[in-house]
A and B are shown apart, each in its own frame.
Chain A
Amino acid sequence: MKFAIAVHGDATNSESPHSALRFARAAVAKGHQIHRVFFYHAGVNLANSLIVAPQGEPDAGDDWARFATENGIELAVCIAAALRRGVLSEQESHRYDRAAANLKAPFQIVGLGQMIEAAIVADRFVTFCA
């Protein structure tokens, strides 16, 4: 089956990034496809490359990045939610004349339409709430 996964929380006050990653790993291990992982609300913070996780604590953004790269999975970050929370690609950083860009590879900035497209295309849509 094709899954679409939505992550609504970030790693500082939610378990959703970790739960969603465990689910995604199990889905891939069972031979399913992940059409897209869509980060919305505070979930966009996972794509902030400036985050420094304390020694010995898991780094959810890095874990997602590694998983996505190893498995060819799209990590989509909603542009409007990202701008609100200060997660900026080079393009957005220039557009809004900010001092820096901080979008972590391989997360991609996309429009909200990509969440709906994922809901349309996937067989199942699972949301991990904050």
Chain B
Amino acid sequence: MATLHLINASSHRSSAMLRCLSAATNGDTVLLIENGVFCAVAATFAHDVSKATGLNWCALIDDARVRGIEHRLAPSIALVDDRAFVDLVVSHQPIVSWS
């Protein structure tokens, strides 16, 4: 079963994204939550994640919306709601949180 990675910090505040990328395997899913959604902003994402193919990228829509960046995200980021977050947890193991 693939791993679900949760990142809750922006790539400027923390090395969480870098550490996650070096630990994630092809087929894993990365869900950006809280201030982690800033990693999904198009220019930031293109810079930080250029080499990480093979991962599924998601962001919590409510966290992007309250930060006013819902429409500024990279096109490959899937916006998901809380119920979809639950579904992601069900379909992955383990769940690894990076901060």
Contact = CB atoms under 8 A, between A and B. Distances in A.
Interface in A17-39: 19, 22-23, 25-27, 29-30, 32
B34 interface: yes
Contacts, number: 48
B34 to A, nearest CB: 4
A125 B95 contact: yes
Given A19-B8, A26-B83, A126-B89, 14 more contacts: A15-B34, A16-B8, A23-B82, A23-B86, A25-B82, A26-B81, A26-B82, A27-B86, A30-B87, A32-B86, A32-B90, A125-B94, A128-B97, A129-B98
Interface residues of A, number: 20
A15 B95 contact: no
B82 A1 contact: no
Given A1-B90, A128-B97, A15 B85 contact: no
Interface residues of B, number: 21
Nearest to B96: A127
B86 A127 contact: no
A38 to B, nearest CB: 14
Contacts of B35: 15
Interface in A108-127: 124-127
Contacts of A64: none
Interface of B: 6, 8, 33-35, 62-63, 81-83, 85-87, 89-90, 93-95, 97-99
A125 to B, nearest CB: 7
A19 B33 contact: yes
A3 interface: yes
A130 interface: yes
A26 B87 CA distance: 10
B93 A127 contact: no
Contacts of B82: 22-23, 25-26
Given A19-B8, A25-B82, A30-B83, A127 B97 contact: yes
B84 to A, nearest CB: 9
Interface in A77-99: none
